[in-house]
Amino acid sequence: MERPLTQYIHPGCPPFDFKEYEMTGGYSALQKALKSMTPQEVQKLVQDSGLKGRGGAGFNTGMKWSFVPMGEDAPHPKYLIANADEMEPGTFKDRLLLEGNPHQLIEGMILAAYAIQADVSYIFLRWAYKKAAQLLRKSIQEAYAAGVLGKNILGSGFSLEMHLHTGVGRYMCGEETALLNALEGKRATPRAKPPFPQISGLYGKPTIVNNVETLCCVPHIVNNGAEWFKGLSNSEDSGTKLYGVSGKVNNPGCWELPIGVTMRELIEEHALGMKNGYQLKGVLPGGASTDFLTTEHLDVKMDFASVAAAGSRLGTGTMVVMDDATCPVGFVHNLQHFFAQESCGWCTPCREGLPWVEKMLLSLEQGNGTNEELELLQLHTQLLGPGNTFCALAPGAMEPLQSALKYFKEDFEMHVALHKCPYGE
């Protein structure tokens, strides 16, 4: 596998500065694109590569870019935004890229901006990523000094400004239209679609929002081609993927692997299996807002279609492992507490429904739950499901709950029968 995303990322070591990144082939893709490719050719190359959004949506990246108006009559300024908010519980892959190789992201952003002829770019960064913010500021300054940002980049006639924007720490900002509102200094609430951001985004102008990992793939695709990128995978999806595992495993971490690796390989070979005394009970395969899978799904490939066929979503590809000593009710209550706090309050089902769900789960944990509440919990997974709320926050929150009620129903019923949590304190 030639030049994977994490090849030059070494934990504990400072990332490359501009010159060091350039010595390893950095910014060669930018030179290639600016000197020998039109913006439409970059769009088509990325579309043909099959690169899908690595933030969870899984939409073809080049196709998303193609929806932006092009040509002399297109509105300006256009905007390119890197979504580096990464507030999904259990997800930490983008932090690895931001702290390990910031120039890779910057080069990917410049290439994406060139492909849509954007004038201004922003990195929307999670507030808690202090180290990443420091490194990005330094790297952006180096890029300006080297002439790969600013006016007339590398003498090509293409210009791009880049800014770092640190968010205030709201999960809602991971939704691209809420992110746009936050960038405009407004409350981080989602927008009605259509119009879509590609047509009317930041300040009403054409805008593309891409995940950090997605953008970091772009330089490698430009350098090596669409077929090369397709050939890196173990499935119908293309490329590599940053996979993470957290929980009571022997070696929690994050690894770049061919997309399509199985859950079993991730947990047993890379995370080195469960710690002594613990057995695997359930897995959230793509962060907190995905459905549980169980031991019967260990041989499912971790790609978009295979995980969906198993009844969940690939999401961010960072799995949270739940062991047999952890109470599923308490586990899900903890997640619902987070989602209820992070609701923006824009629509009634999410604003009122999530705190109600959290309250019922807490009642179960404290030994006061009833069978009627179990029925109400099941009903709420439908009432707060897709199509009933303004955005995907509440439906995402319902995914771990609905799957826990499916796979671990006995645990919920034991809380009612015993009037306490059977897992102890």
Give residue 382's identity as a one-letter amino acid code.
Q
Percent of the chain with pLDDT over 90: 94
pLDDT exceeds cutoff 70 at 412: yes
Instruction: Tell me whether strands 280-284 and 318-323 are parallel, antiparallel or unpaired.
Output: antiparallel
pLDDT exceeds cutoff 50 at 216: yes
Q: How far apart are CA 151 and CA 134, in angstroms?
A: 24
CATH fold of 18-230: Rossmann fold (3.40.50)
CATH fold of 328-418: de novo design (two linked rop proteins) (1.20.1440)
Domain residue ranges in the chain? 18-230, 240-323, 328-418
What lies within 8 Å, CB to CB, of 416 at 6+ separation is 364, 369, 370, 371, 373, 374
Task: Report pLDDT digits (tens) over 38-49.
Answer: 999 999 999 999
Answer whether 240-323 and 328-418 agree in fold.
no
- For residues 349-362, average pLDDT: 96
- For residues 374-387, average pLDDT: 95
pLDDT exceeds cutoff 90 at 290: yes
Instruction: Decide: 211 and 94 in contact? Cβ < 8 Å.
Output: yes
- For residues 259-277, average pLDDT: 97
pLDDT exceeds cutoff 80 at 424: no
**pLDDT category of residue 243 using cuts at 50, 70 and 90:** very high
Task: Report pLDDT digits (tens) over 42-89.
Answer: 999 999 999 999 998 889 999 999 999 999 999 999 999 999 999 999
Percent of the chain with pLDDT over 70: 97
pLDDT of residue 1: 40
Which of 376, 379, 389, 383 has the alpha carbon at shortest distance from 416?
376
pLDDT of residue 168: 86
Task: Report pLDDT digits (tens) over 151-202.
Answer: 999 999 999 999 999 988 889 998 999 999 999 999 999 999 999 999 999 9
Instruction: Tell me whether strands 280-284 and 253-258 are parallel, antiparallel or unpaired.
Output: unpaired
Instruction: Decide: 111 and 30 in contact? Cβ < 8 Å.
Output: yes
- For residues 259-271, average pLDDT: 97
Instruction: Decide: 273 and 295 in contact? Cβ < 8 Å.
Output: no
CATH 3.10.20.600 fits 240-323, yes or no: yes
pLDDT, mean over the chain: 95
Helix or strand or coil: residue 407?
helix
Structure token digits, residue 388: 């009933």
Distance between the two ends of the chain, CA-based, in angstroms? 48
Structure token digits, residue 179: 């992110």
What residue has token string 């200094």?
185
Angle, helices 348-365 vs 393-407, to 10°: value is: 30
pLDDT of residue 425: 57
pLDDT of residue 286: 95
* Sheet order of strands, 161-166 included: 161-166, 120-125, 79-84, 207-211
Structure token digits, residue 158: 């293409």
pTM: 0.94
